[in-house]
Chains A and B, each alone.
Chain A
């Protein structure tokens, strides 16, 4: 027994010595992990001096990262949600300033605001994602329906689907983020009607000069009610898998989701033919655009040793090479923020997204610029509590304002 123990101890000691330039890469996008693994393998193959350990924290990443930050041991490369997460980490000094890195010059300008804080760049924007309506083409064809271009179209569409016994939307009200995304999607759209840009709105909120209720709140909540009314009667019980199952099976014709869930739907039913359109808020179809923005980015930890930082930057630099871009698109299955990136191989809905954005532009993910606590709590929980009848519309707005003020004050 003792001998075995000793052997094990020696083994562990060895494991510690080996591994020359070991980087730790943290990621949260669990749905694309196989592509990321392939990407990292390729990099390591080309750069034998560096090895990369992948660390996934798909749930409660905030808790883990807080503890890691307090330990003084943030992973060398961090995958972050764009805007506020970047701003938060940059403001606390956890990130390396990437403004002068050559790789950032290869990024399309429209993606840069997502990683900007204090007019410097703190991350490498990677994928461009959209939230909208993913619809089942087969069902639409069966009942002779067209994807909606206006809100009125959508209302009519839902009526015909219901008459035909098809649930219009597969919802997932049990997850708070689903309504969180939705309320901010509608809210950002409605800002347009008031001729306020999302940036200005966030800046005004931060300055305490405006309220979340600056938009037409009657419309905001009536669209939320409309969305809820066109889900399954039981949608409050629905979790992620119920949504995916109902959509993949054709019980529901549409789901309001990010394209990250397209892969899962296809996985459940490979024969599914999907299309992707913006969730139309207005009756003027030119005003309806995808709710799309840079979703994630990579940053480098300021706490890492200089040689590790250099290795991490080398990895970011490598991500812009053609072979890396190819793996990114074909295996990681996400769009890219590099200039001239070719995303044609991503499949139907992605093409819908890219052509739609190319033609009409997009509305930015304003929620990503809210203070994180506001989006995580007041928006996500508030919107969900509204749907559960636990909170009135006025209270949802009031709580968002209150929490926003409290977070800016700090």
Chain B
């Protein structure tokens, strides 16, 4: 090199500084400030220094604690007293704000919801004190609430698997009185309809004459239902006796019959409620994120690699196809979410006859992986295609002449030479899948908790802005960041060692 050392150093700084300074300023600095928040209990809204305050509070909490001097003058100059006896200040930027924060902190002003809490946020994550939806867990799905009406129909598979199969003979006999199999459903026998059973009570002549109030009937029905659920004969009798006391003979019989029926239905309701349940497993935020990342890394890369292999052949349409496969990258997230939601709701049920898709927690995670793979595959395809085109044709031809099978050529020539492409694609797919937010957010939003499809970053987002736990949110974010760094670091380390130099 002909340059002097000092010139070289100067040039190095000149060339790298613009990008590095901008990057450090807009990426590393905010990142550091984010970390700082993870050690506080900030709710995401409380300002560090008051914006407006009642006169008395301001004087006692702030002015009284500041000794006369430039600092106090500075504070006084910022706040003005308005007609409603409040001190307020305008929005401040930069240095002034930092100075005010420093002065007030020194004066001991510290808002309740912006305090240092040390490692508290981290501790609560590791000790399982964060919302249960965060962690993978077992839970019980209950399909029937004994205080509700019996369902008019229940799907056959559902009814048999989660209910009938658990019953002993006597219970099965009871169940047969209530539900009959008809087509795809078990249908509630019309005789056992609770609403119909109650009807005679609401059409008592006494009601019309005003001798009985509708709320008295309500209370009676409630009491009978409760007795029915508990199968408590004595309470039933007592309730009937009290209720029927002012009624005439014919009405009494009507009441007695209706009450007996409701009582009988109650027995089955208890049976249904206590048995029609199932143990389920919920991935939780952590589990779903891992599932989503694994699915993406594997499927997106496989699909992309396969498309690249196909397009590497002499297809007539390969240029157009290449553009088409890349197209999903061009569309914005709203478009992607909008379209797929329409497809899942309108098209898939028509094509398959299956009605539930995104609301089914067994399918939703897969569908999200699918959309995400659809979007990412085109990009990785390009990388693989490029890698394939870099493989010298003569090596492959020589192998062909030697009689190597297509599989062996793939196994021993193509794949090893493509390791660099795999390294990059896997790195990007891990990082992007673990960071995933936009797509899932646009497709399921907060409903993700109901179907178990909340990725880590979305959970962080809800913590920060819906649950007002900005401190906890940044602590989670920091942990996520460390996890991604560790995983991609390991991946790069191992895959770089496998790369073959040509």
A residues contacting B by CB (< 8 A) are: 60, 62-63, 66, 69-74, 88-89, 92-97, 99-100, 120, 150, 152, 155-156, 159, 162, 173-176, 218-219, 221-222, 225-226, 229, 233-234, 236-237, 239, 242, 282-284, 302-306, 372-373, 376-377, 380-381, 384-385, 387-390, 392-393, 403, 407, 410
Residues on A with C-beta less than 8 A from B466 are 62, 372-373, 376-377
B339 to chain A, nearest CB (A): 13
Once bound together, how far apart are the Cα atoms of A85 and B91, in whole Å?
A: 20
Given A74-B91, A219-B147: 15 more A-B contacts, CB < 8 Å: A63-B464, A96-B88, A99-B84, A100-B84, A156-B195, A159-B195, A221-B147, A236-B359, A283-B215, A303-B91, A373-B467, A380-B446, A388-B450, A390-B361, A392-B140
Tell me the chain B residues, 216-266 only, with Cβ under 8 Å from chain A.
Answer: 217-218
Quick one: given A176-B450, A237-B356, A284-B214, are A93 and B51 in contact (CB under 8 Å)? Answer: yes
- Contact partners of A388 in chain B: CB under 8 A: 359, 361, 450-451
- Docked Cα-Cα span, A282 to B221, in Å, equals 13
CB distance from A182 to the nearest CB of B (A): 14
Stretch from B148-156, B405-413, B419-427, B482-490 contacting the other chain: B148-156
- Cβ of A388 to closest chain B Cβ, rounded Å: 4
- Quick one: given A237-B345, A239-B345, are A385 and B449 in contact (CB under 8 Å)? yes
**Cβ contact within 8 Å between A88 and B462:** no
Set B82, B215, B357: member contacting A284, Cβ < 8 A: B215
Interface segment out of the listed B37-45, B285-293, B372-380, B396-404: B37-45
Number of interface residues of B (CB under 8 A): 67
Q: Please give, as numbers and ranges, the residues of chain B lying within 8 Å of A380 by CB-CB distance.
A: 446
**Contact indicator B446/A176 (Cβ below 8 Å):** yes
Instruction: Return B9 CB to nearest CB of chain A, in Å.
Output: 31
Residues in B whose Cβ lies below 8 Å from that of A218: 147
A174-B359, A237-B356, A392-B142 as given contacts; A377 in contact with B447, CB under 8 Å = no
Query: Does B11 sit at the interface, judged by CB under 8 A?
Result: no
| Contact of A233 with B355 in the complex, beta carbons under 8 Å | yes
CB-defined contacts of A100 to chain B, threshold 8 Å: 83-84
Return the contact of B113 from the options A72, A384, A410 (Cβ within 8 A).
A410
Residues from chain A with Cβ under 8 Å of B83 in the complex = 100
Contact residues in B for A70 (Cβ distance below 8 Å): 47
Can you spell out 9 A-B residue pairs with CB atoms less than 8 angstroms apart? Answer: A94-B47, A96-B82, A156-B195, A222-B145, A226-B149, A380-B446, A384-B447, A390-B141, A392-B140
With A389-B143, A407-B468 as known contacts, state yes or no: A234 contacts B356, CB within 8 Å: yes
User: Contacts A97-B84, A303-B91 given: A225-B450 contact, CB under 8 Å?
Assistant: no
Cβ-defined contact, B148 with A222, below 8 A: yes
* CA A100 to CA B83, docked complex, whole Å: 9
Determine if B141 and A389 form an interchain contact, defined as CB atoms under 8 angstroms apart: yes
B278 to A, closest residue via Cβ: A389
Contact residues in B for A403 (Cβ distance below 8 Å) = 467
Q: What residues on A are CB-neighbors of B357 within 8 Å? A: 237
Of B45, B218, B345, the residue contacting A66 (CB under 8 A) is B45
**Is the beta-carbon distance between B45 and A92 smaller than 8 angstroms?**
yes
For B140, the chain A residues whose CB sits under 8 A away are 392
Instruction: Verify if B53 is at the interface (C-beta below 8 Å from A).
Output: yes
The smallest C-beta distance from B152 to any residue of chain A, in angstroms, reads 7
Whether the Cβ atoms of B202 and A152 lie closer than 8 Å is yes
CB-based closest 8 A-B pairs:
A72-B91, A236-B359, A218-B147, A225-B148, A302-B52, A97-B84, A93-B51, A303-B91
Q: A237-B345, A377-B466, A377-B467 are in contact. Are A173 and B80 (CB under 8 A)?
A: no
A88: nearest chain-B partner, CB-CB: B45
Tell me the complex Cα distance, A236–B148, Å: 19
Q: Which residue of chain B has the shortest Cβ distance to A232 in the bound complex?
A: B355
CB of B307 within 8 Å of the partner chain:
no
Residue of B with least CB distance to A410: B113
* Chain B residues packing against A (C-beta within 8 Å): 41, 43-47, 50-53, 80, 82-84, 86, 88-93, 97, 112-113, 139-143, 145, 147-149, 151-152, 195, 202, 214-215, 217-218, 282, 341, 344-345, 355-359, 361, 445-447, 449-452, 461-462, 464-470
Q: Do the beta carbons of B467 and A155 come within 8 Å of each other?
A: no
Taking CB atoms, residues of chain A closer than 8 Å to B47 are 69-70, 92-94
CA distance A242 to B359 in the complex (A): 14
In the complex, which residue of chain B has the Cβ closest to the Cβ of A158?
B195
Min CB–CB distance A409 → chain B (angstroms) = 10
The minimal Cβ–Cβ distance linking A338 to chain B, given in whole angstroms, is: 22
CA distance A389 to B55 in the complex (A): 52
Residues of B within 8 A of A387 (CB): 450
**A293 to B174 alpha-carbon distance, docked (Å):** 48
Bound CA span A310–B90, Å: 14
* CB of A30 to closest CB in B, whole Å: 14
The interface residues of chain A lying within 8 Å CB-to-CB of B97 are 72
How far, in angstroms, from A219 to B149 measured CA to CA in the complex?
11
Known contacts A100-B83, A381-B450, A410-B113; decide if A234 and B46 are in contact (CB<8 Å).
Answer: no
CB–CB A390/B139 < 8 A:
yes
Set of chain A residues within 8 Å of B84, measured between Cβ atoms: 96-97, 99-100, 120
Give bound CA distance, A384 to B359, whole Å: 11
What's the Cα separation between A373 and B52 when bound, in Å? 24
Which residues from B are CB-within-8-Å of A66? Answer: 44-45, 464-465, 470
B53 and A390 form a contact (CB under 8 A):
no
In this complex, what residue of A is CB-closest to B43? A410
Q: How far is the CA of A96 from the CA of B82 in the complex (A)?
A: 9
Query: A221-B147, A389-B141 are known contacts. Are A63 and B461 too (CB-CB below 8 A)?
Result: yes
Q: Do A71 and B112 touch (CB < 8 A)?
A: no
How distant is the Cα of A120 from the Cα of B214 in the complex, in angstroms?
43
| Cα A242 to Cα B346 with chains together (Å) | 10
- Tell me, in angstroms, the Cα distance from A378 to B143 when the chains sit together: 21
On chain B, the residues within 8 Å of A69 by CB distance are 45, 47
Chain A residues near B149 (CB-CB < 8 A): 222, 225-226, 229
Q: Are B195 and A155 in contact (CB under 8 A)?
A: yes
Give A284 Cβ to nearest chain B Cβ, in Å: 5
Separation of A73 and B94 alpha carbons in the complex (Å) = 13
Could you say which of A233, A284, A377 contacts B462, with CB atoms under 8 Å apart?
A377
With A222-B148, A229-B149 already in contact, the answer to whether A305 and B446 are too (CB < 8 A) is no
Instruction: Give Cα A93 to B88, complex, Å.
Output: 8
**Complex CA–CA separation, A218 to B225 (angstroms):** 11
Among candidates B41, B88, B112, residue contacting A302 with C-beta atoms closer than 8 Å: B88
